[in-house]
Amino acid sequence: MTPQCPDKPLRIAVVGGGIAGLSAAWMLGTKHAVTLFEADSRLGGHANTVEVREAEGATPVDTGFIVYNPPNYPNFSALLDHLGVASQPADMALSVSLDDGAFEYSSGAIFAQKRNLFSARFWGMLRDVNRFYRHGPRDLASLEAPLTSLDDYLSQKGYC
């Protein structure tokens, strides 16, 4: 629809079949001719579920859909409602297990390994995480040009 042709649908290209692209294509597609372009062999972007096969059977594991909450994704939430896809609230936490459990960390249970209470290295990591949360957003503007990798940023700031 243009000022010259208010009733004529537009031809619109949406690049990227992640949450934003799918939501935009769906909403625009109600009134316009939309073509969705996606470089990957699947849709979903960060939303990706794979099946992990074990002796007991297959378990679906979400490998990339980090956060979903309806207030932050109103269009995507409307799309899920339209498709009849249910969701349920869940606590969000980050956990890491390295070297067959020699080092473990969880944002939901920071001291799950009691020995970390007495580990200077672990306390140093927590200090660095706190410092990163405070300084990272402020430093972001200076990283955009030229583009700095996360690895370079962490090294320059003394995190590793």
The pLDDT, as a whole number, for residue 32 is 94
The pLDDT, as a whole number, for residue 128 is 92
How many residues does this entry show for the chain?
160
CA distances, 138 to each of 44, 63, 131 (Å): 31, 29, 11
pLDDT tens digits, residue range 19-37?
A: 889 889 998 999 999 999 9
CB 75 within 8 A of CB 81: no
* Residue 77 to residue 80: CA distance in whole angstroms: 5
The pLDDT, as a whole number, for residue 11 is 95
* Residue 18 to residue 68: CA distance in whole angstroms: 13
The pLDDT, as a whole number, for residue 65 is 62
pLDDT tens digits, residue range 109-151?
A: 888 888 889 999 889 989 998 999 899 888 887 776 666 788 8
Q: Is the pLDDT of residue 53 over 70?
A: yes
* 76 φ/ψ angles, rounded to the nearest 5 degrees: -65, -40
* Residue 99 to residue 121: CA distance in whole angstroms: 16
Collapsing DSSP states into helix, strand and coil, what is residue 30?
coil
Reading the block at residue 135, the tokens are 């300084």
pTM of this structure: 0.47
